[in-house]
Amino acid sequence: MKTERIAFFNGLECFSENKRQARELPSEFMIIRFGINKYTKDGHQDEFNFTQNDADAVITEFESRGRDLVIDYEHQTLRGSQAPAAGWIKRLFKKDDGLYGELKYWTEQAAEYLKKGEYRYFSPVIQFSRRGKTVTAIHSVALTNHPAMHFNPALAADDSLEVDPSCPPSNINETEFQMKRIFELLGLQEFSDKTSPEALSKAADKVAELCRLAEEGGNFLNKHACKSFDDLEAKISSLPSEETLKALELEITKRDAESAVAVGFSDGKLQESLREWARGFAEKDLAGFKSWLEKAPVIVPLNSNIEQRNPLDDTEAKLSETELKIMRLLGLSDEKIKEINSK
């Protein structure tokens, strides 16, 4: 006994297999729809948002290659092995609902697969930005019966059925579906099945909040001379590493400590025997060392009180009188000065 499969819409008969038409190969098809696209990969479900600007970027990237976009079988092109083409896309373009591809041709084998229903769906290989949120290019498209993206229509519509003119417009379901997606994106799942004034008010408040956050984000990017968050991420990634910053901080600490110690010597409050102690003190607690230095007495006499004797009388003098005075101010002994002179 032959059975007939019938689809109903709100109780009305809309489709019947008796009204089936022959499958026809598409000359163009939508590759990615605008809005939120959900997909499942390796058992993990995720989603991405596809915008008009994203479509423009994808089209620009495609045109820059100067070649057609391949349609293969089961993503064989990605494996680097033999990957016969099922067809070729010669042009990418936008429509109101998404990004489309215009076919150059289907191969004979692919056409047979599609007409027989042995292959029904397609799956694009999408390339994203570094942050993984923005679509930047399409690597290829594959014929497959297990597409990762949800709600992908069949290429050659299985059971291309005539629509009874008495059925309600099909865009009613699409509108409800899109409204539900909007509420879910706004984090208002509890209102996703409602169209009450309260639900619309909640949605409007949420959109206003997102607009405020977007404005603040734009101001933040402008303040840091960035056009996008990708630019900001690139700028952050170019900053010195934590290890580099620590090394730089240590170098600055040593430099400031050495400068403070030099002041102590020039003020006559330090002598050579105290150099290492003073340097360690200043590196550990620069403010404490400076405070100590202010209160410390002068322990190295002024030039006028230094006995003007030459420790180099018995040796060949290499140091000038000025150099000798400086060394005495530093608290160097005659033996140390002779040692330096002999080098």
- pLDDT tens track for 221-267: 888 788 877 777 777 777 777 777 787 788 888 889 898 888 888 88
- Supply the pLDDT for residue 165: 41
Residue where one domain finishes, among candidates 122, 143, 167: 167
> Can you tell me the mean pLDDT for 106-123?
92
pLDDT value of position 138: 94
342 and 199 fall within a common domain: no
Of 6-10, 72-76, 179-183, 221-225, least confident by mean pLDDT is: 6-10
Query: Residue 240 domain-assigned?
Result: no
Tell whether 42 and 142 lie within a shared domain: yes
| Residue 19 clears pLDDT 50, i.e. is over it | no
Q: Do 44 and 160 have their domain in common?
A: yes
Domain membership of residue 250 (yes or no) is no
Looking at the structure, tell me whether residues 62 and 135 fall in a common domain: yes
Judged against a pLDDT cut of 70, whether residue 88 lies above it is answered with: yes
The tens digit of pLDDT for each residue in 66-86 reads 999 999 999 998 887 788 999
In a domain, 11, yes or no: yes
With bands split at pLDDT 50, 70 and 90, how would you rate the model's confidence at 305?
very low
Spatial separation of the C-alpha atoms in residues 259 and 280, rounded to whole Å: 13
Residue 271 lies in a domain: no
Confidence tier at 200 by pLDDT (50, 70, 90): confident
Give the confidence band of 9 by pLDDT, cuts at 50, 70, 90.
very low
Same domain (yes/no): 186, 137: no
Its domain, for residue 147, covers 6-167
**What is residue 122's predicted lDDT score, i.e. its pLDDT?**
93
The residue written with tokens 């607009």 in the block is 211
How much is the pLDDT for 317? 59
Same domain for 163 and 102? Answer: yes
- What residue has token string 């591809």? 101
How many CB atoms sit inside 10 A of residue 309's CB? 10
Domain end among 188, 203, 235: 235
- Residues 127 and 209 occupy one common structural domain: no
% of the chain residues with pLDDT over 70: 77
Return the CA Rg of the chain: 40
Does 306 share its domain with 163? no
pLDDT attached to residue 310: 56
Q: How many domains does the chain have?
A: 3
pLDDT of 89 strictly over 90? yes
Q: Are residues 28 and 113 in the same domain?
A: yes
Mean pLDDT, residues 191-206 taken together: 75
Q: Tell me: do 78 and 155 sit in the same domain.
A: yes
Q: What is the model's pLDDT at position 64?
A: 94
pLDDT of residue 331: 65
Report which listed range, 174-183, 201-210, 242-251, is most confident.
Answer: 201-210
Is residue 13 in a domain?
A: yes
**Is 243 domain-assigned?**
no
- Average pLDDT for the chain: 78
284 is a domain residue = no
Q: Are 111 and 15 in a shared domain?
A: yes
Which of these three, 123, 148, 167, is where a domain ends?
A: 167
Q: Tell whether 68 and 196 lie within a shared domain.
A: no
Evaluate whether residue 187 is within a structural domain: yes
Amino acid residing at 13? E
